Structure 1
Amino acid sequence: MAENKTRPTDADVGDFVAGLSARRRDEAERLIEVMTEISGEPPVLWEPSIIGFGKVHYRYESGRTGEMPASSFSPRKASLTIYLPEGFDRYADLLDRLGKHRTSVSCLYLNNLDDANPGTLRELLTRSWWHHQKPERKPTTVAEYVATIPEAARPHFDELRVLAREALPEAGEELGYGILGYRMPDSKGRAYISGWRDHVAIYPIPRDEELAAELAPFQQGKGTLWFALTEPLPAELIRRTLRALLGGGVG
């Protein structure tokens, strides 16, 4: 039986990253920051040149078993390769708005990290990470998800929840895609919010001409609104945005 070549090492990730080209080094540092934030795990260098976070066990139909990172990437010269062991069937909605990319069975190829919409890529990595966690590790209630919000983002995230309740007091809170979602009892509309190390976010962006110009400064790609923790939240604009998403009107 062939030996598994993908194994964790004791090599220093920083030394490995320092040896990359300037562009790949910058991309690797940015991805390490995002993946560390999502997983809560430190980066580990796996053979031959993979930076991984956490680990999962696998078993092929042939009977071969082993371990691989739960979330990982390789800053290759030809392309930046991000590995999703579970494949991409469940992520069609995200791939449609990710940006320029290629995929194989479990690999996402980016010529440049900036080719990908950052909010969509973060959502893809988040959903993939939680897909591999044991049930006891996954947030199963709103309270459990809220407990995972980084301390730095907590004031903005708490304010975002208050604004959601003010905008649409009848909307219920629920988990969706691993983050906090809102829906009205008699509406198909959905809105999602999340908190990260340096920003809070609202998904998706409402298709509303009245709001388009006002939301433009906060737009990341086609589907995400980012609000930096260094700036106060535009409260009234957020209320109107949530009303538009959940069918309550803009006004």
Structure 2
Amino acid sequence: MAKTKTIETALSVRDFIESYADSEEKKTDSYRLIELMTGWSGFDARLWGTSIIGFGSYHYKYESGHEGDAPLMGFSPRKSAFSLYVFSPIPEQEKMLGLLGKFKIGKACIYVKKLSDINTDVLEKMARTTIAYIEEHHECACREH
């Protein structure tokens, strides 16, 4: 079975942002997202793999037997757009997407060009419902908070 590459590391989140984010706006938005997501999750930012800033963690196990750990929520300041990992496949969040603002959605994340393109109050609701969903469906460190 393939080993999961995206694991929590001890690397500096600040060093990552300073070297990876390709504009001052992306750096500013990254630090703002860290502030927001730390508040919403109750966990400090940690670098997962080589490019994801994650908050907290949970353990998942699929029917296939594949299992691992992942951040409760997170983001990556990628070149073309931020990848926001706050989405859960639940009807409540499907409704929230209509209020979020300007974005694209992938299978597991939401892509936004800049933080000002979205409503951060809606993002907060999505993040909090994601934590609740994960807490209900997975082994989760979020129960400790």
Structure-1-length-normalised TM-score: 0.51
**Conserved 8 A contact 1:56-1:132:** yes
| Aligned amino acid, residue 69 of structure 2 | E
1:85 deviates by 6.2
1:42-85: per-residue Cα shift (whole Å, max 9, x none)?
A: 10001020000110111122210000001111110111001136
Whether 1:130 and 2:132 are equivalent positions in the alignment is yes
- 1:88-112 deviations in whole A, cap 9, x for unaligned? 5440221011111111221111111
1:228-247 equivalence runs, <5 A: none
Q: Aligned match of 1:37 in 35, 39, 50?
A: 39
The corresponding residue for 2:3 is 3
Counterparts of 1:76-155 in structure 2, within 5 Å, are 76-84=78-86, 86-87=88-89, 89-133=91-135, 137=143
Aligned-residue sequence identity (percent) comes to 36
Bigger CA radius of gyration: 1
1:60 matches 2:66: no
Runs of 4+ in 1 over 4 A off after TM superposition: none
* Residue type of the alignment partner of 1:12: S
What secondary structure, in the 3-state scheme, does the structure 2 residue paired with 1:82 have? strand
Segments of structure 2 that go 5 or more residues without pairing to the other structure are none
Q: Structure 2 length as normaliser, TM-score?
A: 0.86
Higher helix share: 2
Matched residue of 1:106: which SS?
A: coil
Letter in 2 for 1:2: A
Amino acid at match of 1:23: E
